[in-house]
């Protein structure tokens, strides 16, 4: 297992190689990579600053991973989430799940992202031509997370 | 009791953290939010809409009826927007 909260960028290929190295029981890996978009709500975004709550962030991500492992038979889970100042095109988050079969990998990857978006204490501040603005939470994110309620 | 603020709650209140002496009658997360509103006009404005004021106690999300005590680490923040 690995949960990493970091300012630095990461290389998806390097992470994938390390994630699967020597693990021949893995039948499939699902990966999601979230990027900074250059437009949001009709406004151009020149930069995004991610703030988080050190300590609680790691704790929440670990709890989300634990829940994913409880629900699906996973060989491994990787979550990397960046904080600090990012620019359009920069990677924000990566989730990878490995399992013997694809259903568990696909479903758990989506679950991890949906839960992360509503539980991990990160906040985005966007820089636009009209000034800085805090990103508002979306009801669609709550709905996406609610689908996984048990 | 130490209280941490994040995102626009931090910028509206003007400090990232503050230490408060909790009155005995303030025993839940929701009561704390109500009491904090009385500390200054900045607090009152920042905390006006409780729908967008979330509370964590000891780094766990909690509902407003969750009990609090002086030794807890309390954080107030808007709905999260990571990912």
pLDDT tens for residues A30-73? Answer: 999 999 999 988 889 999 999 999 999 999 999 999 999 999 99
> From its phi and psi, is residue A20 left (phi > 0), alpha (psi between -120 and 50) or beta?
alpha
Q: Which 3 state secondary structure label does DSSP give B19? A: strand
Summarize the confidence of residues A4-17 as an average pLDDT.
98
- Residue B61 tokens, joined: 């999300």
- The span from the CA of B74 to the CA of B68, in Å, is 8
Counting the structural domains of chain A, the total is 1
**So what's the architecture of B2-77 in CATH?**
Roll (3.10)
Q: Is A121 on the interface with B (CB under 8 A)?
A: yes
The pLDDT value recorded for residue A1 is: 58
Q: Which of A53, A60, A122 sits opposite B81 (nearest CB)?
A: A122
Residues of B with CB under 8 A from a CB of A: 4, 6-8, 52, 56, 59-61, 75, 77-83
The model's pLDDT over B3-59, given as tens digits with 9 standing for 90+, comes to 999 999 999 999 999 999 999 999 999 999 999 999 999 999 999 999 999 999 999
Summarize the confidence of residues A2-10 as an average pLDDT.
97
Q: Where are the domains positioned within chain B? A: 2-77
CATH code of residue A17: 3.90.1170.40
Q: Which 3 state secondary structure label does DSSP give B53? A: coil
Confidence of residue A21 (pLDDT cuts 50, 70, 90): very high
Q: Is A96 on the interface with B (CB under 8 A)?
A: no
Task: Tell me how close the Cα of B24 comes to any Cα of chain A, in angstroms.
Answer: 27
CB contact under 8 A, B82 and A51: no
- The span from the CA of A71 to the CA of A65, in Å, is 10
Nearest CA among A102, A100, A113 for reference residue A147: A113
- Output the CA–CA distances (angstroms, integers) from residue A8 to A46, A49, A53, A134, in the order listed: 19, 13, 17, 22
- Residue A135 tokens, joined: 């990103």
pLDDT at residue A143 tops 80: yes
Residue whose pair of structure tokens reads 């991610």 in the numeric block: A50
CB contact under 8 A, A137 and B4: no
DSSP 8-class letter at A52: E
The pLDDT value recorded for residue B79 is: 97
> Which residues of chain A lie closer than 8 angstroms to B56, CB-CB?
53, 56, 121
Q: Which residue on chain A is closest to B75 by alpha carbon?
A: A53
CB atoms within 10 A of CB B34: 13
CB contact under 8 A, B80 and A118: yes
CB contact under 8 A, A93 and B61: no
**Residue A7, domain extent:** 2-146
- Residue B65 tokens, joined: 């009826």
- Residue A48 tokens, joined: 């995004």
- Output the CA–CA distances (angstroms, integers) from residue B46 to A131, B39, B68, in the order listed: 20, 11, 21
């Amino acid at each position: 297992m690995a949960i990493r909260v970091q300012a630095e960028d990461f290389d998806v290929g390097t992470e994938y190689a390390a994630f699967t190295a020597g693990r021949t029981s893995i039948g499939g890996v699902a990966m999601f990579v979230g990027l900074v978009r250059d437009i949001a709500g009709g406004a151009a975004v020149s930069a995004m600053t991610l703030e988080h709550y050190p300590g609680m962030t790691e704790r929440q991500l670990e709890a989300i991973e634990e829940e994913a492992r409880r629900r699906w038979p996973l060989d491994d889970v990787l979550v990397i989430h960046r904080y600090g100042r990012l620019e359009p095109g920069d990677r924000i988050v990566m989730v990878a799940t490995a399992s013997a079969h694809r259903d568990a990998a696909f479903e758990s990857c989506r679950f991890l992202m949906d839960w992360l978006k509503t539980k991990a204490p990160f906040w985005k501040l966007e820089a636009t031509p009209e000034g800085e603005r805090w990103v508002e939470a979306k009801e669609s994110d709550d709905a996406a997370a609610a689908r996984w309620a048990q | 009791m130490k209280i941490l603020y994040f995102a626009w709650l931090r910028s509206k209140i003007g400090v990232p953290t503050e230490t408060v002496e909790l009155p005995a009658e303030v025993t839940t997360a929701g009561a704390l939010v109500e009491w904090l509103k009385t500390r200054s006009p900045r607090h009152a404005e920042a905390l006006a809409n409780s729908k967008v004021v979330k509370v964590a106690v000891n780094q766990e999300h909690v509902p407003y009826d969750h009990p609090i005590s002086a030794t807890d680490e309390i954080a107030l923040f808007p709905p999260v927007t990571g990912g």
